[in-house]
Chains A and B, each alone.
Chain A
Amino acid sequence: MPRQTPEQLANFAKHMYGKLDQLSYYDLLGVSSGTLSSDIRTAFFRMSDDLHPDRYHTMADRELKERLETIYARICEAYRVLTTPEKRTTYDRLLSEGKKRLTSTDRESRAPQSPEDSIKHEEAKKFFRLGMLCLGRKDFKGAVMNFNFARSFEPQSAIINQKLGEAQAALGKPGGPGAK
């Protein structure tokens, strides 16, 4: 198969980029929904031969390059889903409901959480972070001081009290956090 010329690549990007979200994984790889895993692999390899970023590494047009990479990343995604049996089963079900992409948003979402997220008062949060930094440096004295400051702004915070307790214990001073 002859290699794609830069013009052909540009046309391809123009054609694909805008409608990427409307294409199913089968459409992207140019295969039908009943295609065997091994044939999907062949199709993916054939496309990779043209569209892998190594093929346009020296391309001067940054925007076109970026677009081709985005398209290729989606092709990789299609390949990965369609050649993993359990993912493919889930995807086929979603596709029948009209979804074109298997994203993890279809699973239960959980919040990224840092310890200070539950602290509401801004000042308390600030001192809590400083305390955590001290704790990381094993500066337990500084940690106790900062956690105490934090507690003065938000006395009932469980996390502040917990960390204060830890810092005090590490410092060798007995006595719990003593929540109000």
Chain B
Amino acid sequence: MSVVGIDLGTTNSVIATVRDGQVVVVPAAHGGYLHPSVVSFSADGLKYFSREGVARRIVDPKYTVYSGKRLIGLSFRSKEVQKAVARLPYELREGNNEQAVFVGPDRTYTIPEVSGLLLGYLRQCCELFLGDTVTGAVITVPANFNDAQRRATIDAGRIAGLDVLRVLNEPTAAALAYGLGQNMSQRIAVYDFGGGTFDITILQVEGDVFEVLATGGDTFLGGDDMDTALLNILAELFRAEHGIDPRQEQAAHARLLIAAEQVKCHLSEFPEARGELKNIAISSQGEQLALRFHIARNVFETAIRGLVSRTIQTTQEVLASVGLAASQIDDVIMVGGTTRVPLVRAEVERYFGRPPRTDLNPDEVVAWGAAIQAENLAHAGENLANHAVLLDVTPRALGIAVAGGFAERILDRNVPVPVEQTRIFTTSADNQSSVRIQVCQGESRRFDENVPLGELELTGIPPARRGEIAIEVTFRVDTNGILRVRARDAATGAAREAAVNVRGGMSDVEVAEAVERQKSQESPIDDSTLPELAELEGLEELKD
């Protein structure tokens, strides 16, 4: 029985484990160590993963789910999901409890179910590789994931048949992988620029204790945005040559996006990229149209400079929130494939005034840390002399709705977890028989401007005049960053405890059903039937 660490990414995922004291990263089908975070569904009930799934983004975009991490744990009505709906080629719809559900060929799937399928696939890859069953996992999440997103990630893990030992913040995992500290006191910045998200976290490391001082980021900023910028450059070149906008057609769009990603990687190593993309679109005469391109790195850099500046601006804000200057940072760790882009490295170096650390593979470093933490947790209580302990903090402030549309803060952001805070409130009307406690996450004074998490109702309050009843409201955040709220009538002792009924989340019953369904339907993975990626021909020239 093994425990694993999983970096469940927006674009790619990585799974690792510890064998004989060494971190081992599980290889992906078709080589490399990155498993694309894609699940493709066919009408006959088959699911396709990895590069097979990626290939189906072109042939079957309607039933190929990617970027699921952008949707997990969010209400269908949230800004983020609505924005995603407008951009994604697959269909999303509102399901039970405001959940966003994917409309598959056979039925609808909740997002934790889709992520659960992906995690199940990763688990199987790992089991094949190790020749051992995988039981427990530490799954990483961006540091600024809210309560609902963390819960949904845990649900996804459960659906995949995994005991989720912990949801761990990605930057903390990266710092753990670097094994920083070692009897030294250091202040570390973890600059994590992934495919879909950007996070910046400031850690204080003393000996083997890691403390998160502050964290911030942007859930809608990543390498994908750079791909889109390059896609637009390619599409404009194509339009200039053929008078057709290839973005209008889904298959051409998907093909260009894949090419854009490869061009980006090429430009990270070489000053220019040239090549030919065949069969992008069909002309009115029925001819296949190709695109010859030649893009210099500085053209690309001009297109992405604004994206990189946003990360530096966020970094500055996060440092300012804890009263630190860039010069007070002892070390900068680079995480995420997007940190390979030379402009990113240059800008980070310029801002901090020191070269960032890039010695561990930025794509794998988070999974490394997760694997180490999984091993630590599985063997807690045994000889742990060399194992670090992570002191994490609440990612956002938590509060409740009070009169006038305001949010009354109960817990600040960036406080060490676990944490418990009790506030005493009173009734606002005579003979008020119940109190509804609406919980939100965020820093705004106005309730509406925060993320609503859910609500809890305390009923059966005995008749009394306004202000005479004392209601204790206790917020408790555990080491996973998961909130529990308890409301108690101090006089009668009547209490309601709830893992707040989260909007946009699956109910316990739904999760239990999904666990059973996946267990009974899981088929062994088959590596022998993987299709050739003929679409990528022509990009070979890039490798020169």
Residues of A within 8 A of B (CB): 3, 6, 41-42, 45, 48-49, 52-59, 69-70, 72-74, 76-77, 79-80, 103-105, 109-114, 117-118, 120
Contacts and interface: CB of A to CB of B under 8 A. Distances in A.
Contacts of B1: none
Given A109-B425, A111-B425, A112-B425, A80 B416 contact: yes
A103 B425 CA distance: 12
Contact of B429 (A56, A74, A79, A120): A120
Contacts of A111: 402-403, 425-428, 435, 466-467
B479 A80 contact: no
B422 A103 contact: yes
Contacts of B479: 52-54
A3 B436 contact: no
Nearest to B77: A136
B419 interface: yes
Interface string B51-70: 00000000000000000000
Given A45-B391, A111-B425, 14 more contacts: A6-B381, A45-B211, A48-B391, A54-B377, A54-B390, A55-B380, A59-B381, A76-B419, A105-B422, A105-B423, A111-B435, A112-B402, A112-B437, A113-B402
A137 B338 CA distance: 40
B427 A49 contact: no
Interface string B385-429: 100011100000000111100001010000111111111111111
A23 B42 CA distance: 62
A73 B380 CA distance: 19
A112 B435 contact: yes
A73 B377 CA distance: 19
B419 A58 contact: no
Nearest to B467: A111
7 contacts: A3-B383, A45-B391, A55-B380, A73-B418, A76-B416, A109-B426, A112-B473
Contact of B420 (A48, A58, A77, A113): A77
B260 interface: no
A6 B416 CA distance: 24
A49 B389 contact: yes
B421 A104 contact: yes
A58 B375 CA distance: 12
B208 A113 contact: no
Nearest to B430: A120
A138 to B, nearest CB: 11
Nearest to B470: A109
A117 B467 CA distance: 13
B423 A104 contact: yes
Contact of B436 (A104, A112, A118): A112
Given A103-B423, A110-B403, A52 B391 contact: yes
A72 B418 contact: yes
A3 B415 contact: no
Nearest to B455: A114
Contacts of B108: none
A118 B415 contact: no
Interface in B172-224: 206-209, 211
Secondary structure class of chain A's binding surface, majority of residues: helix
B401 A113 contact: yes
B428 A48 contact: no
B43 interface: no
A64 to B, nearest CB: 12
A58 B437 contact: no
A73 to B, nearest CB: 4
B314 to A, nearest CB: 24
Contact of B207 (A45, A80, A117): A45
A120 to B, nearest CB: 7
Interface string B474-500: 001011000000000000000000000
A163 B348 CA distance: 52
B207 to A, nearest CB: 7
B408 to A, nearest CB: 6
B407 to A, nearest CB: 11
Interface in B424-483: 424-432, 435-438, 466-467, 471, 473, 476, 478-479
Given A54-B390, A105-B424, A120-B431, A112 B419 contact: no
Contacts of B401: 112-114
Given A112-B402, A118-B429, A53 B418 contact: yes
Contact of A110 (B408, B415, B435): B408
Given A73-B476, A112-B401, A113-B403, A3 B431 contact: no
Contacts of A73: 418-420, 476
Nearest to B477: A73
A58 B381 contact: yes
B384 interface: yes
B378 interface: yes
A42 B418 CA distance: 18
Given A109-B425, A111-B427, A77 B381 contact: no
B262 interface: no
B498 to A, nearest CB: 14
Closest 8 CB pairs of A and B: A111-B428, A57-B380, A113-B403, A114-B436, A76-B416, A105-B424, A73-B418, A45-B209
B165 interface: yes
B376 interface: yes
B389 A80 contact: no
Contacts of B165: 57
Contacts of B377: 54, 57-58
Contacts of B437: 112
Nearest to B480: A53
Given A52-B391, A112-B436, A120-B431, A69 B416 contact: no
Contacts of B432: 117
Contacts of B436: 112, 114, 117
A104 B417 CA distance: 18
A41 B416 CA distance: 12
A111 B406 CA distance: 11
B423 A113 contact: no
Contacts of A48: 209, 389, 391
A72 B423 CA distance: 19
A104 B420 CA distance: 12
Contacts of B431: 120
Of residues A41, A103, A112, which shows the largest number of chain B Cβ atoms within 10 Å of its Cβ? A112
Given A55-B389, A56-B381, A114 B419 contact: no
B417 A49 contact: no
Nearest to B469: A111
Pick from A49, A72, A79, A111 the residue with the most CB of B within 10 Å: A111
